[in-house]
C-alpha cells in the first residue's frame, strides 16, 4: 500500500517534485462491491416481499427495503452507495414468458425535442418532470458556484444537487420502463438506432433549442438529462423484449434522419423539426427518421406487416 509513496520519496533524480502522502481511504471511497450469489452472498426475503436480508461475506447482514419483487434465480448481489444512501442491487435470471404475437412492427426514432417518434406516427413526448427538475438543478448549480468551497453551505448544496439528480434518475428510469413496456406489448419487432455508433453525437448536436436567457447552459443541462436516457432506455427495451420473446433490431444510424424515407433522396433540414425532400417536400423529421429506421431493419415502413 505504501509502495508508491516510498517510490516517490526515494526518488533522488534531482528534479524537485511534490511528494504525495499515501491517501487515507475513508469509507466514502468504497462505493460498490459485486458478489456472485451463493459465493459469499445471499438474499433472504422476509415480510412478504416488502424487505429482506442481504448477507455479504466480510460485510455481514444488511436489511434492505424491496422496491420491486425479486423474481427468478438470484445471480448477483451488489452493494452500492449513492451519496449517503446504500443500495442492494439484485440481478436475477428468469425464464422468458412470450407475449402473443401482434402482427405489428415498428421503427423508433429517439430524439431531444420529443422523447420518441414511431414509424406509425405515434409520439411520446418528453416527460414533464424534466422541466421542473431542470429549473431546480440550474438554480442549485448557480448557488453552489457562488458558495465558498468547503463551507457547510457548499456541502449542503452539493447534497441537494445529488438528491435532485437522483430523483431525475428514478423518474427517468420509471418513464423508460413504462415506455418500453408499451412498445414491447404492442409490437413483435422494434427497430432503433444503434447508439454505440458515434455519429449519434453528430445527430444530437444542435437538436436542443431552448429560447430565453442562459440558452447554452440550459441546453447543456437538457442534454445531460436526456442523453443519459437513450442508452438506458435501449437496454431496458432490449431486456423487456427478450423476456417477452420480441425482436429488437439495432440499425446503423448514419443519415436516417436526412434521407427521404419515400425515395431515399438526401433532404435539406431548414428547421430542426422538418426535412425537405426535393421530390416529396416537407416531412416531419422524426417520423421520417423512424420510417428509415424501420426500413433499414427490414420491417417495411412500420405498418402492420402483411404476412
Binding site for Zn ion (CB under 5 A): 260, 262-263, 265, 277, 279-280
**Cβ 295 to Zn ion, closest distance in Å?**
13
Q: Please identify, using beta-carbon distances, which residue of 202 and 265 lies nearer to Zn ion.
A: 265
- Cα(129)–Cα(214) distance, rounded to whole angstroms? 20
- Cα(270)–Cα(233) distance, rounded to whole angstroms? 29
Q: Please identify, using beta-carbon distances, which residue of 262 and 304 lies nearer to Zn ion.
A: 262
- Give every CB contact of residue 21 below 8 A, 6+ residues apart in sequence: 5
**Cβ 278 to Zn ion, closest distance in Å?**
7
Q: Please identify, using beta-carbon distances, which residue of 277 and 290 lies nearer to Zn ion.
A: 277
**Cβ 288 to Zn ion, closest distance in Å?**
9
Q: What angle do CA 237, 243, 246 make, to 5 degrees?
A: 65
Q: Which residue is nearest to Zn ion (CB)?
A: 260
- Cα(278)–Cα(301) distance, rounded to whole angstroms? 20
- Please list the alpha-helical segments (H only) found in 89-245: 129-146, 152-186, 199-204, 215-243
- Give every CB contact of residue 86 below 8 A, 6+ residues apart in sequence: 62, 79, 80
Q: Please identify, using beta-carbon distances, which residue of 19 and 265 lies nearer to Zn ion.
A: 265
**Cβ 264 to Zn ion, closest distance in Å?**
7
**Cβ 114 to Zn ion, closest distance in Å?**
22
Q: Please identify, using beta-carbon distances, which residue of 219 and 276 lies nearer to Zn ion.
A: 276
Amino acid at each position: 500500500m505504501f509502495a508508491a509513496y516510498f517510490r516517490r520519496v526515494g526518488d533522488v533524480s534531482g528534479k524537485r517534485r511534490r511528494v504525495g502522502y499515501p491517501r487515507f481511504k475513508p469509507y466514502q471511497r468504497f462505493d460498490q462491491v459485486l458478489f456472485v450469489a451463493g459465493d459469499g452472498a445471499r438474499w433472504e426475503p422476509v415480510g412478504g416481499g416488502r424487505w429482506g436480508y442481504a448477507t455479504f461475506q466480510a460485510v455481514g447482514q444488511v436489511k434492505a427495503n424491496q422496491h420491486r419483487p425479486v423474481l427468478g434465480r438470484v445471480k448477483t448481489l451488489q452493494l452500492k452507495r449513492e451519496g449517503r444512501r446504500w443500495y442492494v442491487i439484485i440481478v436475477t435470471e428468469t425464464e422468458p414468458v412470450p407475449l402473443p404475437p401482434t402482427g405489428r412492427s415498428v421503427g423508433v426514432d429517439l430524439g431531444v425535442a420529443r422523447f420518441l417518434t414511431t414509424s406509425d406516427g405515434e409520439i411520446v413526448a418528453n416527460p414533464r418532470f424534466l422541466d421542473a427538475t431542470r429549473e431546480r438543478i440550474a438554480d442549485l448549480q448557480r448557488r453552489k458556484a457562488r458558495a465558498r468551497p468547503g463551507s457547510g453551505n457548499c456541502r449542503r448544496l452539493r447534497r441537494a444537487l445529488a438528491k435532485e439528480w437522483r430523483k431525475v434518475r428514478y423518474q427517468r428510469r420509471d418513464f423508460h420502463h413504462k415506455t418500453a413496456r408499451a412498445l414491447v406489448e404492442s409490437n413483435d419487432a422494434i427497430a432503433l438506432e444503434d447508439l454505440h455508433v458515434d455519429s449519434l453525437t453528430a445527430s444530437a448536436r444542435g437538436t436542443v433549442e431552448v429560447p430565453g436567457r442562459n440558452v447554452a447552459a440550459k441546453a447543456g443541462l437538457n442534454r445531460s438529462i436526456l442523453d443519459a436516457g437513450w442508452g438506458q432506455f435501449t437496454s431496458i427495451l432490449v431486456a423487456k423484449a427478450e423476456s417477452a420473446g420480441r425482436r429488437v433490431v439495432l440499425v446503423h444510424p448514419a443519415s436516417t434522419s436526412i434521407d427521404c424515407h419515400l425515395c431515399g433522396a438526401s433532404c435539406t433540414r431548414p428547421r430542426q423539426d422538418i426535412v425537405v425532400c426535393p421530390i416529396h417536400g416537407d416531412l416531419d423529421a422524426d417520423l421520417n427518421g423512424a420510417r428509415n429506421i424501420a426500413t433499414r431493419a427490414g420491417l417495411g415502413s412500420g405498418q402492420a406487416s402483411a404476412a
